[in-house]
Amino acid sequence: MAVIEASDLTKTYGDFTAVDGISFEVAPGESFGLLGPNGAGKSTTMRMIGGTSLRTSGSLRVLGLDPEENGPLVRASLGVVPQQDSLDEELRARDNLIVYGRYFGLPKAYLTKKADELLEFAQLTDKAKEKVSALSGGMKRRLTIARGLVNEPRILLLDEPTTGLDPQARHILWDRLFRLKEQGVTLVVTTHFMDEAEQLCDRLIVIDHGTIVAEGSPQSLIRDYSTREVVEVRFGSTRNAAMEGPMRELADRIEVLPDRILLYAHDGEALLDEINRRGHTPLTSLVRRSSLEDVFLRLTGRTLID
Ligand SMILES: Nc1ncnc2c1ncn2[C@@H]1O[C@H](COP(=O)(O)OP(=O)(O)OP(=O)(O)O)[C@@H](O)[C@H]1O
């Protein structure tokens, strides 16, 4: 049975529709992603799942329950990692976990043991007595995740878990999330980073302007909506637009971005050789594998990060 079932889920703010009739299911133990640009409606969807935002219409079941009718029960089974860390800066790291656990009515004896276990999991044991204000961004994120796990949730909701973190901090965080997945926790992740979605998600929905534009595993989305490889060529600001015509002759599909042209191909190296053979020599070029960014571009005509 699905742990989350959304059907025709809709949220409007006045006459603006932020989430526009989306339907999806999340299976137990799955790592499920909501991928889309800023403003697509991802956080709003997460808040409805967590029962902190009321839906306008449609139906929603979390572990078989409606979060609006059974808020406390649903929240007891959910861990929430909001977009902005909402830790108590003045409290020590360990005390943040204990105080948060008290909101769930969890007993002190359980919490003192659990806090140590979670600090260990978050690789923060040596920071247990530090005030939150003294922790780095990556440490705060890991502490927020640890806090979300204090009630041993079956589902962890993560809203843009690595936004603002440097590459090393992101990798540490991804590693911790993989471990949770191995333990059977269902992860629901919003992100506008395609590499994060590719790394973490078994399956995802691509959201744009409040609607689902595609759904599937990262591999199947790339297979269905892109070619195996992409050639990126830069001709410089004065030549870029003029090269559109010649590039179109060389590939079934191209995308002209302000600073470069993308050519979709099965064999990128062969295509790049042909570009050079015809004397269109670009200033810089690279051949890479297709990514979810290409899927998004194909579906919406825009890049994920505007
Ligand atoms: N309380 C609100 N009142 C009015 N409009 C809102 C409110 N909350 C969100 N919106 C609007 O709804 C749309 C979707 O917002 P949402 O935060 O869900 O997007 P998102 O995909 O999570 O993007 P981001 O990554 O920027 O958070 C945006 O246009 C936003 O301005």
Ligand 1 near 15 CB (within 6 A): no
The per-residue pLDDT for 139 is: 93
Continuous H helices in the chain: 42-49, 71-76, 93-103, 108-121, 137-148, 167-182, 194-200, 218-225, 244-248, 268-277, 292-300
Residue carrying structure tokens 């922790």: 135
pLDDT tens track, the chain, 306 positions: 899 999 999 999 999 999 999 999 999 999 999 999 889 999 999 999 999 999 999 999 999 999 999 999 999 999 999 988 889 999 999 999 999 999 888 999 999 999 999 999 999 999 999 999 999 999 999 999 999 999 999 999 999 998 888 888 889 889 989 999 999 999 999 998 888 999 899 999 999 999 999 999 999 999 999 999 999 999 998 888 899 999 999 999 999 998 999 999 999 999 999 999 999 999 999 999 999 999 999 998 877 765
Domains of the chain: 4-211 (3.40.50.300), 227-289 (3.30.70)
Ligand 1 near 169 CB (within 6 A): no
Pocket test for ligand 1, best of 12, 22, 43 (most atoms within 8 A of CB): 43
Q: Phi/psi of residue 275, each to 5°?
A: -60, -45
Ligand 1 near 186 CB (within 6 A): no
Tell the residue nearest (CA) to atom 28 of ligand 1.
Answer: 39
The per-residue pLDDT for 237 is: 86
Tell the residue nearest (CA) to atom 30 of ligand 1.
Answer: 39
Q: What's the pTM?
A: 0.91
**Contacts of residue 176, Cβ cutoff 8 Å, sequence gap at least 6:** 121, 122, 123, 142, 145
Ligand 1 near 13 CB (within 6 A): yes
180 alpha carbon to ligand 1 midpoint, in Å? Answer: 28
55 alpha carbon to ligand 1 midpoint, in Å? Answer: 14
Pocket test for ligand 1, best of 9, 13, 19 (most atoms within 8 A of CB): 13
The per-residue pLDDT for 104 is: 87
List strands edge to edge, sheet with 253-256. 253-256, 261-265, 229-234, 284-289
The per-residue pLDDT for 304 is: 73
39 alpha carbon to ligand 1 midpoint, in Å? Answer: 5
| Cα four-point dihedral sign 73, 74, 75, 78 | positive
The per-residue pLDDT for 166 is: 86
The per-residue pLDDT for 149 is: 93
Tell the residue nearest (CA) to atom 8 of ligand 1.
Answer: 44
CA distances from 258 to 36, 38, 251, 302 (A): 21, 20, 19, 11
119 alpha carbon to ligand 1 midpoint, in Å? Answer: 32
Ligand 1 near 33 CB (within 6 A): no
The per-residue pLDDT for 150 is: 95
Ligand 1 near 40 CB (within 6 A): yes
43 alpha carbon to ligand 1 midpoint, in Å? Answer: 7
The per-residue pLDDT for 234 is: 97
193 alpha carbon to ligand 1 midpoint, in Å? Answer: 17
For residue 53, the cross-strand partners are none
The per-residue pLDDT for 186 is: 97
134 alpha carbon to ligand 1 midpoint, in Å? Answer: 30
Q: Please, are residues 164 and 114 in contact by the beta-carbon 8 Å criterion?
A: no
